[in-house]
Amino acid sequence: MRKYLIPVMLAFSLLLGGCQQGAGSGGSGSASSAPPEEPDSIFLQEMEDGTREPVKEKDLQEGVRYWVVDPEREGAYVEAEYNGREENGDYIYVIYREPDLSQEELDQALEEVMEDYDAMSVTVAAIEDGVPTVSGAWGWAVKDEIPMTPDTKVRAASLSKTSVGLCAMAMAEDGIVSLDAPLSDYWGDDGHNPYSEKQPSIETIMTHTSTLSDLGTTRGLSKLRSLIRNNWRSFEPGNGGYWFYSNFAFCVLGTTLELASDRVLEDYFQERFLQPMGITASLFSGKMEEDEIACLYNSWGGVERSRSEQVNATVPDEIGMGASYYPGGLTISSPDLAKLIAVLANDGEVDGVRYLSEESVHNMETPRFEVDQGEDVSPFQQCLVMRRQDNLLGRPSLCYHTGSAYGVHSLYSYDPDTGDGVVVITVGTARKVNERGLYALCADLSEKLYAKMEGDLA
């Protein structure tokens, strides 16, 4: 579901062009000797005989669905909810598309891919035109005891970083933080890199160019202060030539947001995103119930994190004490993660509710520089938190992030032009990376599903 704002004259051109092609009108497609009379609006209503007739401007009702010429598919029509007009007369409407991907097709794709891979479990969810649609699962949540389901929650590893990034963008919109302000605004002298005139910021952390060393994950405000103070690298923050992937920097980022907002990040995340979206998830696995999460296994079938170990983890209630969870602790189902990624795929809006501005989403999607992944692996473009590659998984361009920890290999990706996306979380499969730098099982399943959604590109 995507919101469109279309200029009046272009709208009439689309409508009349569609009518001339004979869609729903019985026309032959040839131009008439005299231009047709302009209808009162671009919106059509379906008549009893199955034809569609223009709705007069005075009869349009906000919130009612009509038919419009599809702006993305030549010669086709699609249902759209009329949302009024801009002051300049431009029409505003929300398009509703039927999913191209059926439940049967998703299940079939999952079965086909798993013929070539071994894993304990896989859970997957699709996004079409910015709307989460179908989901599926394969394997065991608890080996030989409890089947994996789409609703089973899994520790999603580094996909968690996108949750922290969403909070950073939201806090910037709320006036709580500034993305380009020096970290010393929040940490004092501890946040100052003495080796560089240019100073690290929230944005440089989100592009992995903060110049903080990667010291692994840790927590505790006093410990973080000590580590930050003594572990700056002598490079220029924000310079892509000094890109350095850092889990520790995301411990710092989450805590920076806490210092700025004077609250635990989990509480802000729940209030700003999860609760309004009806998502049951947490950056802290200790908030989950044992019967709703998956046990984590390695590729040999050994337990990496039992369900009881996960739910008995500490639930931090002080600033800085949750830092170690922020780089990879998000525990969530694939359909709920698809809802969260839909915030990005649908330009900040889900189910008619705006969570981020279009400007913030486009800022996150904008490449800053290219990163060389090494020999035999394609480079990627670093965006804010996310990565981007062209001609990926059968799409002209995809934004994405990967995750790997405790036997989990995960991938979300979405097409910023069509709003299509796929979330895949696997447990207990071997760490196999393809030539694009993606975990192979996740990539193969995603590519199959994108191909079945290719009606969006027709």
pLDDT, one tens digit per residue, over 149-172 is 999 999 999 999 999 999 999 999
**289 three-state secondary structure:** coil
Stretch among 68-77, 215-224, 273-282, 332-341 having the lowest mean pLDDT:
68-77
CA distance 438 to 394: 14
- Cα 179 from Cα 207, distance rounded (Å): 12
Q: Give me the mean pLDDT over the 326-347 stretch.
A: 98
**Are the C-beta atoms of 409 and 430 separated by less than 8 Å?**
no
Do 315 and 415 belong to one domain?
yes
Q: Which residue has the tokens 């995340």?
A: 269
DSSP 324: G
pTM of the entire predicted model? 0.83
Same domain, 358 and 442: yes
Letter for the amino acid at 231? N
Shared domain for 51 and 111, answered yes or no, is: no
Do residues 52 and 123 both lie within one domain? no
Is the same domain home to 450 and 394?
A: yes
Examine the domain organization and report whether 143 and 84 are in the same domain.
no
Domain boundary among 47, 65, 96: 96
Residues 144 and 293 in one domain: yes
| Residue 136, SS3 per DSSP | strand
Number of domains, the chain: 2
Pick the residue with more confidence: 347 or 455? 347
* Beta-sheet pairing, 303-305 with 154-155: unpaired
Of residues 400 and 9, the one with the higher pLDDT is: 400
Does residue 51 sit in the same domain as residue 160? no
What digits encode the pLDDT tens for the residues 386-430?
Answer: 999 999 999 999 999 999 999 999 999 999 999 999 999 999 999
Straight-line distance from the first to the last Cα atom of the chain, in angstroms, rounded to the nearest whole number: 17
Question: Residue 279, Cβ neighbours under 10 Å: how many?
Answer: 18
Euclidean distance between CA atoms 64 and 201, whole angstroms: 46
Q: Is the dihedral of CA 287, 251, 158, 174 positive or negative?
A: positive
C-alpha dihedral, 254 to 259 to 264 to 268, nearest 10°:
-80
Q: What is the rounded average pLDDT of the residues 365-381?
A: 94
Domain holding 135, by residue range, is 103-168+264-457
Please indicate, yes or no, whether residues 27 and 144 belong to a single structural domain of this protein.
no
- Give the residue, 359 or 42, on which the prediction is more confident: 359
Contact 272, 170 (CB under 8 A): yes
DSSP-derived pairing of the beta strands 52-54 and 387-392: unpaired
The angle at the Cα of 308, spanning 305 to 309, to the nearest 5 degrees, equals 45
Q: Is the pLDDT of residue 260 over 60?
A: yes
Is the same domain home to 31 and 158?
no
Cα–Cα dist 452/196, whole Å: 50
Domain annotation covers residue 216 = no
| Statement to judge: residues 45 and 117 lie in one domain | no
pLDDT tens-digit map of 79-135:
888 888 777 777 777 776 677 899 999 999 999 999 999 999 999 999 999 999 999
DSSP assignment string, 59-79: G--TT-EEEEE-SSSTT-EEE
The number of CA neighbours under 13 Å toward the Cβ of 68 is 30
Specify the range with the lowest mean pLDDT, choosing from 114-123, 171-180, 357-366, 368-377. 368-377
Distance of CA 319 to the CA centre of its chain: 27
pLDDT given for residue 61 in this prediction: 87
Residue 2, both tokens: 């995507």
Q: Is residue 196 part of a domain?
A: no
Task: Look at residue 231 and tell me if it is in a domain.
Answer: no
Task: Name which of 131, 46, 159 is nearest 426 in CA terms.
Answer: 159
Mark whether 38 and 161 lie in a shared domain. no
Q: Is residue 62 part of a domain?
A: yes
| 108 domain-assigned | yes
**Cα dihedral: 423, 426, 431, 433 (round 10):** -20
3-state secondary structure of 408: strand
Do 249 and 198 meet the contact criterion of CB atoms below 8 Å apart? no
Contact 243, 382 (CB under 8 A): yes
* Residue 351 to residue 189: CA distance in whole angstroms: 43
Q: What 3-state DSSP class applies to 449?
A: helix
The C-alpha atoms of residue 21 and residue 287 are separated, in whole angstroms, by 57
Domain stop point among 63, 96, 129: 96
From 77, 96, 115, give the residue that closes a domain: 96
pLDDT number for residue 29: 38
Q: Give the residue-averaged pLDDT of 17-36.
A: 41
- Residue with tokens 């090494």, as numbered in its chain: 374
Buried b (16+ CB within 10 A) or exposed e, 79-116: bbbbeebeeeebbbbbbebebbbeeebbeebbeebbee
Helix, strand, or coil (residue 182): strand
- CB count within 10 Å of CB 324 equals 22
Residue 359: inside a domain:
yes
Task: State the CATH number of the domain containing residue 155.
Answer: 3.40.710.10
Give the model's pLDDT for residue 26: 37
